[in-house]
């Protein structure tokens, strides 16, 4: 029967904490935070505007195509009744 001994170290960190936790935080400039926030909002607004314009263009193309199909159908109907 073999016995093994081991030592338990209490209050000893298993590894050192990351540098970000050890160094003091740099103060935050509220004006810079607001500028970054406003920039993100502006970019998001631009993306939304672009998406809306894309949808409007697709709808316009769809309406133009539907109008052409309707005109073609009326022309065919008129030609079939004339002959």
Q: Does residue 76 lie in a domain region? A: yes
Whole-angstrom distance, CA of residue 43 vs CA of residue 51: 12
Q: Does residue 77 lie in a domain region? A: yes
What token pair was written down for 37? Answer: 């926030």
Model-level pTM?
0.50
Q: What is the DSSP letter of 71?
A: H
Supply the range of the domain harboring residue 70. Answer: 30-82
Whole-angstrom distance, CA of residue 57 vs CA of residue 67: 15
pLDDT of residue 41: 96
How many domains does one find in the chain?
A: 1
In the three-class reduction of DSSP (H, G, I as helix; E, B as strand; rest coil), residue 68 is classed as: helix
Question: Distance from first CA to last CA of the chain, Å, rounded?
Answer: 110
pLDDT of residue 36: 96
Q: What are 2-56's pLDDT values in tens digits?
A: 566 666 666 665 677 677 666 777 888 999 999 999 999 999 999 999 999 999 9
């Amino acid at each position: 029967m073999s016995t093994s001994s081991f030592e338990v170290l209490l209050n000893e960190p298993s590894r050192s904490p990351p540098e970000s936790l050890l160094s003091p935080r740099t103060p935050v400039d509220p004006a810079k935070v607001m500028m970054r926030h406003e920039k993100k909002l502006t970019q998001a607004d631009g993306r939304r505007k672009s998406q809306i314009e894309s949808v409007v263009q697709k709808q316009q193309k769809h309406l133009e195509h539907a109008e052409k199909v309707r005109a073609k159908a009326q022309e065919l109907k008129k030609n079939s009744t004339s002959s």
